[in-house]
Amino acid sequence: MSILVTGGAGFIGSNFVLDWLAQSDETLINLDALTYAGNLDTLKSLQNNPNHIFVQGDIGDAPLISQLLTQYQPRAVVNFAAESHVDRSIHGPTDFIQTNIVGTFQLLENTRRYWEALPTEQKSAFRLLHVSTDEVYGSLANDAAPFTEQHPYEPNSPYSASKAASDHLVRAWHHTYGLPVLTTNCSNNYGPYHFPEKLIPLVILNALAGKPLPIYGDGLQIRDWLYVKDHCSAIRRVLAAGRLGETYNIGGWNEKPNIEVVQTICSILDELKPKADGSSYAAQISYITDRPGHDRRYAIDARKIERELGWKPDETFSSGIRKTILWYLENQAWVANVSSGAYRDWVNKQYAGTP
């Protein structure tokens, strides 16, 4: 028995791989293109684990996907592979179209051919789980009800538009060909091994380095924060018991404006690693020009997955953010490794408006 995980060296994917292999002796084939956010250092603890088979490659590489499916005969495919940073999609949307749309198409087509040729029992048990985002639903007004699975798609960035397209492809391959799929749409993840261009790790690392803490616009954009290990447990639950063809929203029930998130990080750092001069890290907060088309609010209604599958998050934002900050303080070697010259060039370009 085996499963194929795509994008398993990225932030969410690597956490899933680590959690899966910590509680299962099933072989896991991990396919990742190792682009900027893919980092094998995250998976260093699995170096001698015979149940972890790493393959460097792209989900858009049809011959490779076909070969892996034929060779390892997985009972499931879990697709994390995606370009996933909104700011990068604004500066260069081509990679997002290629990976998130064309790549998903190639994965679906090759998986369909593999699935159709399986013996009846294996065919019935097979699953493809596609991991997506709440950003496909667009932006919510502050007084609007959270996104349910029935909310219309209204993506507002090249990133979210490309993910919306991939969700539609997954749905179509189920309804047209019968491919046994499941889709999950998650809220903002945070936790260990997060690439330091996203808000929470960026703020932690900039604070410790004495750099400005960049806040887009007025900082009142609201997000629902989901601790990554809670997300991983939800995916395992959906893979095990989700209804075929269904979508499940996965959220943390933790709506917070960005400025509150940053202030919370500063407060915890003031406690855990106080500055020599006694000042607060909050003094480093710096407001910069808002990004184009910045959605004001995302919020996930995660009642369906709780009602049908009995899942709900274990972490509150308070407990999860403290665990996250402690992890970054205790894993400076990982941080130094991932903070390459290319990453620094990107941050300098993206936050050029910081005073």
Write the DSSP string, 7-38. STTSHHHHHHHHHHHHH--SEEEEEE---TT-
Residue 47 in domain: yes
Whole-prediction pTM:
0.92
The DSSP call for residue 75 is S
What is the span of the domain harbouring residue 14?
A: 2-190+227-253+293-314
Residues 6+ apart with CB under 8 A from 260: none
Question: Which residue(s) pair with 52 in the sheet?
Answer: 28
Residue 23 in domain: yes
Residue 346 in domain: no
Consecutive sets of 10 residues in the chain, 355 residues long: mean pLDDT of each? 95 97 96 85 93 96 98 98 78 89 97 98 98 94 94 93 97 98 97 89 95 93 96 98 98 96 98 96 93 85 98 97 97 81 54 48
- Give one word for 217, left, alpha or beta, with left for phi > 0 and alpha for psi -120 to 50: left
Residue 271 in domain: no
pLDDT at 343: 43
Sheet with 222-227, strands from edge to edge, namely: 188-190, 222-227, 255-257
How are the residues of the chain apportioned to helix, strand and coil, as percentages rounded to the nearest 5?
50, 15, 35
Number of domains in the chain: 1
pLDDT at 350: 56
Residue 84 in domain: yes
Residues forming the active site: 134-135, 159
Distances (CA, A) of 20 to 76, 142, 232, 310: 13, 37, 8, 19
For residues 20 and 123, what is the distance between their CA atoms, to the nearest angstrom?
23
The DSSP call for residue 56 is E
Residue 36 in domain: yes
For residues 235 and 242, what is the distance between their CA atoms, to the nearest angstrom?
9
Q: Is the Cα dihedral 26, 31, 36, 40 positive or negative?
A: positive
- Give one word for 293, left, alpha or beta, with left for phi > 0 and alpha for psi -120 to 50: left
The first and second tokens of residue 247, run together, are: 């979508």
pLDDT at 196: 82
Residue 330 in domain: no
Which domain CATH number covers 116?
3.40.50.720
Amino acid at 339: S
For residues 346 and 355, what is the distance between their CA atoms, to the nearest angstrom?
17
Residue 304 in domain: yes
pLDDT at 147: 95
